[in-house]
Structure 1
Amino acid sequence: MKVCSYKGLSMRIMLRDEHCPPHAHVNAGAWNARFQFSFWHNDIDLWDVVPLSRRPPMSVLEGLCRSLGQPAHLRRARGIWWSGVQTVCLDNQVWDCESNEVPVMKPVTDTTYRIGAARYDPEADTVLLTLVGKLEGVEIHL
């Protein structure tokens, strides 16, 4: 499903046989790119471009990142992903209650908890985390 366009390039969420992490696709004919997005922060990252030998200028890839990062486009991407894939790709990861993040490389401490379940509410644009061993969940306003 189409999320947005940038300079004539359509960014889409593919729903058939999709996998984590959440991402959007751009098929430009000569090259394809994937852009990662998240359900706990608003950053967009270029995941990959194939074939690398036909990679477009960085200005095009950065423009695509900025386009997907616009609040309305990111909210649409999340809504499409959630409705089709039914996961925010956070289950069984670690949540740090002190820094309010999913740490990449951090030892488990008294402020970190395993995410038992995560749900996205498209209407409110929020994510609800259920943390294993903690009575209170976490609500992330995106």
Structure 2
Amino acid sequence: MKIYSYKGLSVRIMLRDEHCPPHAHVKAGAWSARFKFSFWHNNVELWDVIPLSRRPPAAVLEGLRQSLKQPVHLLRARGIWWRKIGTVCLENQLWDWQSNEVVVVKGIVSTTNMIGSAHYESETNKTRLSLIGMHEVVEIEL
């Protein structure tokens, strides 16, 4: 499903056989790229370009990344992903209360809890995390 166009390139969320992490696709004739986005922060990251030998200029990739970071495009990407894919890809990861972030390599300490479930509210652009063993819900305003 199309999110938007950037300089004639269509930025899309694929709806068939999609997988975590949340990401958008750009397909040009000679190459394709994927950009990761999140439901707990507003960063966008270039994930990969295939084939690497036909990689477009860095300015094109950075322009695509910056355009996806725009609030209107990121909101649309998240909304499509949530409605069609049905996950924010945060379940069973660790949330650190002290740093207010998902931690990957860090060990379990007193400030971390496992994320049991996560839901995105496109109307308010918020993600809600239910943590295992905690009654409080973490609300992330994006």
TM-score (norm 1): 0.98
Displacement, 1:4?
Answer: 1.5
Give unmatched runs, 5+ long, in structure 2: none
Distance 1:81 1:134 in 2: 27
Q: How big is the alpha-carbon RMSD for the aligned residues of Structure 1 and Structure 2?
A: 0.6
Displacement, 1:72?
Answer: 0.4
1:137 aligned residue? 137
1:57 aligned residue? 57
The answer (yes or no) to whether the contact 1:32–1:49 under 8 Å persists in 2 is yes
State yes or no: 1:119 paired with 2:119: yes
Distance 2:90 2:68 in 1: 20
The SS at the match of 1:133 is coil
Q: How many residues align?
A: 142
For 1:94-105, list aligned pairs within 5 A.
Answer: 94-105=94-105
* Structure 1 ranges of 4+ moved more than 4 A: none
1:18 aligned residue? 18
What amino acid does structure 1 have at the position aligned with 2:80?
A: I
String of CA shifts for 1:47-69, please: whole Å, max 9, x gaps: 00000000000000000000000
Distance 1:69 1:9 in 2: 16
The answer (yes or no) to whether the contact 1:35–1:44 under 8 Å persists in 2 is yes
String of CA shifts for 1:108-136, please: whole Å, max 9, x gaps: 11110000000000101000100001110
The SS at the match of 2:65 is helix
For 1:33-52, list aligned pairs within 5 A.
Answer: 33-52=33-52
The answer (yes or no) to whether the contact 1:13–1:24 under 8 Å persists in 2 is yes
What amino acid does structure 2 have at the position aligned with 1:20?
A: C
The answer (yes or no) to whether the contact 1:5–1:67 under 8 Å persists in 2 is no
Structure with the higher fraction of residues in strand conformation: 2
Displacement, 1:35?
Answer: 0.3
1:70 aligned residue? 70
Displacement, 1:104?
Answer: 2.5
Displacement, 1:15?
Answer: 0.8
State yes or no: 1:4 paired with 2:4: yes
1:93 aligned residue? 93
Displacement, 1:140?
Answer: 0.4
